[in-house]
Amino acid sequence: MRAVSVAAPRRFDLSQLARTWELLLLLTVRDVKLRYEGTILGFLWTLAKPLLLALVFSFALSRVLRIDVGDAPYVLFLLSALFPWTWFQSSIQFSAGSFSNNAALLKKVYFPRFVLPFSAVTSQLIHFLLSIPILALLLLAAGYRPGPEWLLGVPVLMAIQLLMLAGAVLLVASFNVFLRDLEHLVEVLMLLWLYVTPILYPLSLVKERVGAIIYLNPMASLIQAWRDLFLYDQLPGVDIWPALVFAVIALVAGSIAFKTLEGQFEIVL
């Protein structure tokens, strides 16, 4: 009888995982350096956008339209949501062209392709992490005292947002290879998403008018959780479930799209 050879099961390669993380780190550092190369203010430009937006909206909405946001200063009310939103928005916008803008690299060298859009997420995460101490100082100046709840709440909310972004950037970057207009459409959609998310106004104001429909927007619950944590030291509760559900759906959809389309990248590009 002929011996039948049985293929050994594929083992988890720790060295490959280490190389992938190293590549992700290198791409993240590269993105951060390239973004501020030759600038005088450097990282301060990351803070400038949300700070200027907060000042403009503070005048237009709290002084002119007189939107009631409770006892918190309107600038802090805005920044507590704008900082995490900027991480979300910038990650998706910068990752849209990750594959199409690196066509030459994809054709020359093989490496885990997913690290390209992921590096956009991690580079924006660095900006977000550096903005947290700035927000803490502003809160202290206004009489707020960031509590120990931040030590647990920030990692939990970061994990949810990372999960959400991982799927979203894979989905957008993969389809953008075949539909180049998507990169420009994403910019418009993100602007619209900003206005339908309770960032410029309190969540309670929208719930009074549309009720639970607001939770069809997964960023509504996530942004509210960030705001409750930063302003009131409240840990995320069960109301965070829409963001969790969307994060899982986005990760599954993004992974399927990437796995399905990855083999055609080099042909199309």
Q: What does the H/E/C string look like for the chain?
A: CCCCCCCCCCCCCHHHHHHHHHHHHHHHHHHHHHHHCCCCCCCHHHHHHHHHHHHHHHHHHHHHCCCCCCCCCHHHHHHHHHHHHHHHHHHHHHHCCCCHHHHHHHHHCCCCCCHHHHHHHHHHHHHHHHHHHHHHHHHHHCCCCCCCHHHHHHHHHHHHHHHHHHHHHHHHHHHHCCCCCHHHHHHHHHHHHHHHCCCCCCHHHHHHHHHHHHHHCHHHHHHHHHHHHHHHCCCCCHHHHHHHHHHHHHHHHHHHHHHHHHHHHHHHC
Q: Which two tokens stand for residue 106?
A: 């994809």
What are φ and ψ of residue 31, in 5° steps? -60, -40
pTM: 0.85
Taking 70 as the pLDDT cut, the residues of the chain under it are 1-14, 36-46, 60-66, 68
Q: What is the pLDDT of residue 71?
A: 80
First and final CA of the chain: distance in angstroms?
A: 51
- Indicate the residue type of 3: A
Contact 234, 209 (CB under 8 A): no
Distances from the Cα of 207 to the Cαs of 204, 210, 220, 231, in angstroms? 5, 5, 11, 20
Q: What is the pLDDT of residue 56?
A: 75
Q: What is the pLDDT of residue 14?
A: 66
Residue pointed to by tokens 């803070």: 47
Q: Is 163 exposed, middle or buried (0-12, 13-18, 19+ CB in 10 A)?
A: middle
Q: What is the pLDDT of residue 229?
A: 97
Q: Is 148 exposed, middle or buried (0-12, 13-18, 19+ CB in 10 A)?
A: exposed
C-alpha atoms less than 13 angstroms from C-alpha of 169 in its C-beta half-sphere: 29
Q: What is the pLDDT of residue 230?
A: 96
Residue pointed to by tokens 């802090």: 76
- Indicate the residue type of 93: Q
Q: What is the pLDDT of residue 204?
A: 85
Q: What angle do CA 93, 245, 53 make, to 5 degrees?
A: 35
Q: Which two tokens stand for residue 262?
A: 């990855």
Q: What is the pLDDT of residue 19?
A: 82
